[in-house]
Chains A and B, each alone.
Chain A
Amino acid sequence: MPGSSRCAGFLVALLAIVGARSAHAQHEHTSSEFEVFLASEAFSGSGSARRNDDDSWFNADVVIGLSHEQFRVFGEYFITAKEHDLERFQLGFEFVPETTVWLGRFHQPASAWNTEHHHGRYLQTAISRPTIEDWEDQDGIIPQHITGALLESRRPFGNDGGIQFSGGVGASPSLSIDGYEPITLVDNNPGKYGLSFTARLAYLPEYTGTTSMGLLLSHDQVFVRGPAALAALQSHHATLDIHGAYIDWSDAHWRAICTLYYVDAALDGRSRNESFIAGYAQVERQFPHRMTAFGRLENSARMQLSRYIALFDDHSGDIDVALRREVAGLRWDYARRQALSAEYAHATSFSNRADEWRLQWSAAIP
């Protein structure tokens, strides 16, 4: 596959640059970063459970960064047993401290979960991600990868706090019967791509802390591709308006992540837009011996009435889009940068239910 060889070549070239720069980094104002987040997962399910792409038995998330003075290059390459893709590639310029403009392919900042965890599994306490935050290739119902420009800024606010703003504009994915297909930087991009505007405004009680809360906004124009998707949606394009709010709160032993999205989908020829609500709340508690227990509730309203959501259900009898899900699990950080996790989930879809069990080993190297 030409795309695959280009991807591999691209990765090798980036690694060579990072390696070469590292040798000189101590004497020049250049720094480089190379991390690999590894995970291996065992999955079992009953009822209408489905092992999706995120449940691959092996995945590696390779993160490469290079900084020289105000200039930055950053890439994230995700490899599973089934696929590999350059998920993010960004060229940045930090024109004032903590304010950077990026060009390239990035994760849209209006996703509370994905801008925190991205593709790496080790830093995510739970094994699975909330359904509303699924990536495009896992039947994700919200565009996540945008290609264009992104502005990120963090400014002091009050005595100790901060305000964080991220705003992006660029090409949104196209929509086919297989789900969303974002622009790829290393292969062909057939079809038409609409514009996406996406932003997050967050308040940080502590400027350097991990607790934050804020508003999420996104406006995506999506072009529908292929006769099957056109027939199912009866529309040549869709316009999504997403309004959300989130809080990610951490204390000594507790962490809570709560997110709520209101999604409005406008389709051609419909007098009224479709809308639905989806959200989740995850609570984590650390215990002695580096054990962490976690639980998550996901719920939605009016999703089952949406023609837009129905496009993501392939009617194969398994669960493509979970309307509700309850998740509970335990994580043990048994060694530095290594963890074992076990998770149980009960999911409910349009007419199906499923029980899912996951076991995972995850690590960060070096």
Chain B
Amino acid sequence: MVLALSAATPAFAEDQLLLIVSAKSSIEHLDSPQIRKLFLGLTVTHSGNRLRPLLNEADARMKEIFLQNVVSMSDDTYDRYGLRLSLQQGRAPPTAFKNVAVLMDAVASDISAVSFAWKRDVERDSRIRVLRVLWHD
């Protein structure tokens, strides 16, 4: 029984959450405070271009890991933060994607887009470049 369960979860055991940009993007590095600011709706620029955060909501576990480890907020607190920003300045929260394929197309086609995804979803996509590992098992 234990062997059967461990055989069923090796993919999760090797999961890595990656910060990704378009292969055509000139972004080489984003540090943790910059990523946090970006996904909290604040303005972050690179070479004069305003970066565009894209939220990956294809997998609830991944979003939870991203919010806890990178943004340091629960999903509820993040939602409230977004509403607050909207009420105070009419700022839009990051565009959310429920479908990984659609998200990859959006990242690949926009040199200012920044997002995150599981390693298994991006490793064979030559249009996407990995900036760093955000979290791993």
List residues of chain A with CB under 8 Å of any chain B CB: 25-27, 29, 31-33, 35, 37, 61, 63-67, 69-70, 72-76, 90, 94, 97-98, 100, 115-118, 120, 122-123, 152, 154, 160, 207-208, 210, 333, 336-337, 364
Contact = CB atoms under 8 A, between A and B. Distances in A.
A75 B86 CA distance: 11
Contacts of B76: 333, 336
A122 B37 contact: no
B52 A65 contact: no
A97 B45 contact: yes
A26 B90 contact: no
B95 A33 contact: no
A207 B80 contact: no
Contacts of B93: 33
B23 interface: no
Interface residues on B, range: 20 to 34
A72 to B, nearest CB: 7
Given A29-B112, A32-B92, A98-B43, A65 B83 contact: no
A72 B90 contact: yes
Nearest to A73: B90
B58 interface: no
Given A33-B91, A210-B84, A364-B83, 12 more contacts: A27-B110, A65-B89, A72-B89, A72-B90, A75-B90, A98-B42, A115-B88, A118-B88, A120-B87, A208-B42, A333-B76, A337-B79
Contacts of A69: 50
Interface in B25-70: 33, 36-37, 40, 42-45, 50, 52
Contacts of B33: 160, 207-208
Given A31-B92, A31-B95, A33-B92, A63 B87 contact: yes
B16 interface: no
A123 B80 contact: yes
Nearest to B110: A27
Contact of A208 (B40, B43, B110): B40
Interface of B: 33, 36-37, 40, 42-45, 50, 52, 76, 79-81, 83-84, 86-93, 95, 106, 109-110, 112
25 contacts: A26-B106, A27-B110, A29-B50, A29-B52, A35-B83, A64-B90, A65-B86, A65-B90, A66-B90, A72-B89, A72-B90, A76-B87, A76-B90, A94-B43, A97-B42, A97-B43, A100-B89, A122-B83, A123-B80, A123-B83, A208-B40, A208-B42, A210-B81, A333-B76, A336-B79
B64 to A, nearest CB: 14
Contacts, number: 84
A29 B110 CA distance: 9
Query: Most chain-A Cβ atoms within 10 A of its Cβ — which of B44, B52, B91?
Result: B91
B11 to A, nearest CB: 29
Nearest to A25: B95
Contacts of B80: 123
Contacts of B52: 29
A32 B91 CA distance: 8
A118 B87 contact: yes
Given A97-B45, A123-B80, A74 B90 contact: yes
A88 to B, nearest CB: 9
Contacts of A97: 42-45, 50
Contacts of A207: 33, 37
A67 B83 contact: no
Contacts of B43: 94, 97-98
A120 B110 CA distance: 35
B89 A123 contact: no
A174 B28 CA distance: 55
Contacts of A76: 87, 90
Contact of B86 (A35, A152, A337): A35
A74 B87 CA distance: 10
Query: Most chain-A Cβ atoms within 10 A of its Cβ — which of B44, B45, B80?
Result: B80
A97 B46 CA distance: 11
A65 B106 contact: no
Contacts of A61: 87
Given A65-B89, A69-B50, A26 B79 contact: no
A364 B95 CA distance: 18
Contacts of A333: 76
Contacts of B44: 97
